[in-house]
Chain A
Amino acid sequence: MPRGFKTVIFATLLLLGSFFLELKQKAAFGWSFDYILAALLVLPLFLDFFEFIFFGSVAFLLLKLVYPWSGPEVILLIALPVLVFIFKKIFPWQSWLESFLAVLIGVTGFYALVNPSLFFENTGFLVTDLAVSMIFGWAIYHFLASIGKRNK
């Protein structure tokens, strides 16, 4: 299988996995860490233009299926991976830090734009959420990076 297909297929499967984790946890406990957001922020780092178009359309369909609401958060959820993809094309810097930075800036920016009061009312949860989302983002980043290395 060509490298590109492998990367995009694994990226899509990881996105599905993040949906599974977040929605299962939400159904069980009533809250969840931001696995979907972390996946949407980290996975575009590995994709070329056409892979990203495919990945973006799958993400859009999944979000539409589980999230039939309208609102600024929906637009942000779709816009954030696009911003990551564009940023990566402009600054093709590669480091193990990039997954942490993408999740840290993305999740913080997301809550800052959608509901900044959460920073004051739920600081403890938000810090834990950021930590777990960053670790999740780091894990999927290294998984996809290892797939890429194996196919060189």
Chain B
Amino acid sequence: MTGKNTLLFIVALLVAGLAFLNPSGLRKTGDFLTFGLSTGDKISPEDLNSKLAVSCATAPEIKGKFVAGNVFSRYPMNLKDQLLVDVGSADGVKLGGAAISDGMLVGKIAGVSANTSIVQTVFDPNFSLAVRIGKAREDALLKGGVEPRLTLISKASSLAAGDAVYSASKDFQYGLPIGIIGAVNPTTQNVFSEAVLTLSYSPADLRYLFLEKQ
């Protein structure tokens, strides 16, 4: 083995060893290396709880049912749109429960481990959710994606752009707001109409989430 190869091998062992360190020890390096995809500084538990308290004040029905956590990381590939949050089963997080941010439903809890949870957001291509729209309570199916869509809207419905969209799935609390409806597209080929879901936030803005507790 030449000197160059020995040096490369030793450095490779050191680098590989770093990968097995406690993730929290590498948090700052990880934040730097994710070039903005990760969320930077952790929000303190006190600040998170005060944000949760503000949300509970405006929506009392969620009081005591959610726990606040920092968004730790975001799935970097196109296959999924998932967020890793730094609270888990030890904090009482419920698998399959709702994830909300500032009162808006942003996804469902797809995985829970002791100290972390995975949230499948509405931007995930495999996300789907039964929803209702507007005061007329028209049924629709929300299909996730880079541009989430509202599908299976009855052509007889009288919806207008700007009507509120809220959850109607048995898995979540009824009526959690999700966004507003964009322009309805009554296609001639399909039996149902479709519309774009307009959200008040961008996925990159999500720095903390409130996850449903058991």
Contact = CB atoms under 8 A, between A and B. Distances in A.
Interface of A: 2, 4-5, 8, 19-20, 22-24, 26-32, 34, 36, 49-51, 53-54, 56-58, 60-62, 64-69, 73, 111, 114-115, 118, 121-122, 125, 129
Contacts of B8: 8, 50-51, 53-54
A19 B4 contact: no
Contacts of B84: 68-69
Contacts of A115: 79
Q: Helix, strand, loop or mixed for chain B's interface?
A: mixed
Contacts of B123: 30
A45 B98 CA distance: 46
A1 to B, nearest CB: 10
Nearest to A21: B35
Interface stretch (B26-34, B88-96, B158-166, B167-175): B26-34
Contacts of A2: 4
Contacts of A125: 78
A108 B70 CA distance: 35
A67 B204 contact: no
Identify the 8 closest CB pairs spanning chains A and B, nearest first. A50-B5, A65-B30, A23-B37, A57-B12, A57-B16, A54-B12, A54-B8, A57-B15
B156 interface: no
Among B12, B29, B34, B78, the most chain A Cβ lie within 10 Å of the Cβ of B78
B101 interface: no
Contact of A24 (B1, B16, B36): B36
